[in-house]
């Protein structure tokens, strides 16, 4: 907090303490004192929340509708509170020749990737939402010289399984030892009929 605002908050805090004393001495019977205490308390809480959320000193609240991005171990990225590392590529799927996410074993999934930032993507299909229950896995390579929109095909081979399945598509990069590292992942829910 900047020093010029310290005195403002200290003054409001002292005023809140004085009004609290006024409420205490009136034994809670003075409506003006209670109203003033609520107003000052609300102002203090609002100001404190705004400072906490906008400041870079503390961790601040983390609210997101998206999966957090894993930092790339091969790059030296510095992320500030104003810069958020996000993948630029967008991934969506469709069952070839169909609408929706209902599929059968043998159907072809078309995986659309716009602005791919990895050369290879891993696909894992597991039943339910437990990655330990693996039905199928594979890797897809981005063709050299492909444009900003790539459509990759992946054939489902789920055997006799019928029910809800989760498809995990992950961007892959290799570390110094040549091991694949999942940089980020996107999940889709399919119904296998």
Q: Does the residue 21 lie in any domain?
A: yes
Average pLDDT over residues 25-45: 87
| Per-residue tokens: 25 | 């001495």
In this prediction the pTM is 0.53
**What is the number of other CB atoms lying within 10 angstroms of the CB of residue 93?**
20
Number of structural domains the chain divides into = 2
In a shared domain, residues 50 and 118: no
DSSP H/E element including 22: helix 3-25
Q: Does the residue 127 lie in any domain?
A: yes
Reduced to 3 states (helix: H, G, I; strand: E, B; else coil), residue 152 is strand
Q: Does the residue 136 lie in any domain?
A: yes
Q: Does the residue 184 lie in any domain?
A: yes
Over residues 63-115, the pLDDT tens digits come to 556 555 555 555 555 555 555 555 567 888 888 888 877 888 888 888 888 88
Q: Does the residue 155 lie in any domain?
A: yes
Q: What are phi and psi of 127, to 5 degrees?
A: -85, 150
In a shared domain, residues 32 and 119: no
In a shared domain, residues 97 and 155: yes
Q: Does the residue 81 lie in any domain?
A: no
Given a cut of 70, is residue 2 above it in pLDDT? Answer: no
179-185 long-range contacts, Cβ below 8 Å, gap at least 24? 180/120, 180/122, 181/73, 182/70, 182/122, 183/70, 183/72, 183/87, 183/118, 184/67, 184/69, 184/70, 184/87, 185/67
In a shared domain, residues 172 and 102: yes
Strands 134-141 and 102-103: unpaired
Over residues 162-185, the pLDDT tens digits come to 888 888 998 888 888 888 888 888
In a shared domain, residues 100 and 185: yes
Q: What is the CATH number of the domain that holds 132?
A: 2.60.40.1930
> Which domain covers residue 108, as residue numbers?
90-192
């Amino acid at each position: 907090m900047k020093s010029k605002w310290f005195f403002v908050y200290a003054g409001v805090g002292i005023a809140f303490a004085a009004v609290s004393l006024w409420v205490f001495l009136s034994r809670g019977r003075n409506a003006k004192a209670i109203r003033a205490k609520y107003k000052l308390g609300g102002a203090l809480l609002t100001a404190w929340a705004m400072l906490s959320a906008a400041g870079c000193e503390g961790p601040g609240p983390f609210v997101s509708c998206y999966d957090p991005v894993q930092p790339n171990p091969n790059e030296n990225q510095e992320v500030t509170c104003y810069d958020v590392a996000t993948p630029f590529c967008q991934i969506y799927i469709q069952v070839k020749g169909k609408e929706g996410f209902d599929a059968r074993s043998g159907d072809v999934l078309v995986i659309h990737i716009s602005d791919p930032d990895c050369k290879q993507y891993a696909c894992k299909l597991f039943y339910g939402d437990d990655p330990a229950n693996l039905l199928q896995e594979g890797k897809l390579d981005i063709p050299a010289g492909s444009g900003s929109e790539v459509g990759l095909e992946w054939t489902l081979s789920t055997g006799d399984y019928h029910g809800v399945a989760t498809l995990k598509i992950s961007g892959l990069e290799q570390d110094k030892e040549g091991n694949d590292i999942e940089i980020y992942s996107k999940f889709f829910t399919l119904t296998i009929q």
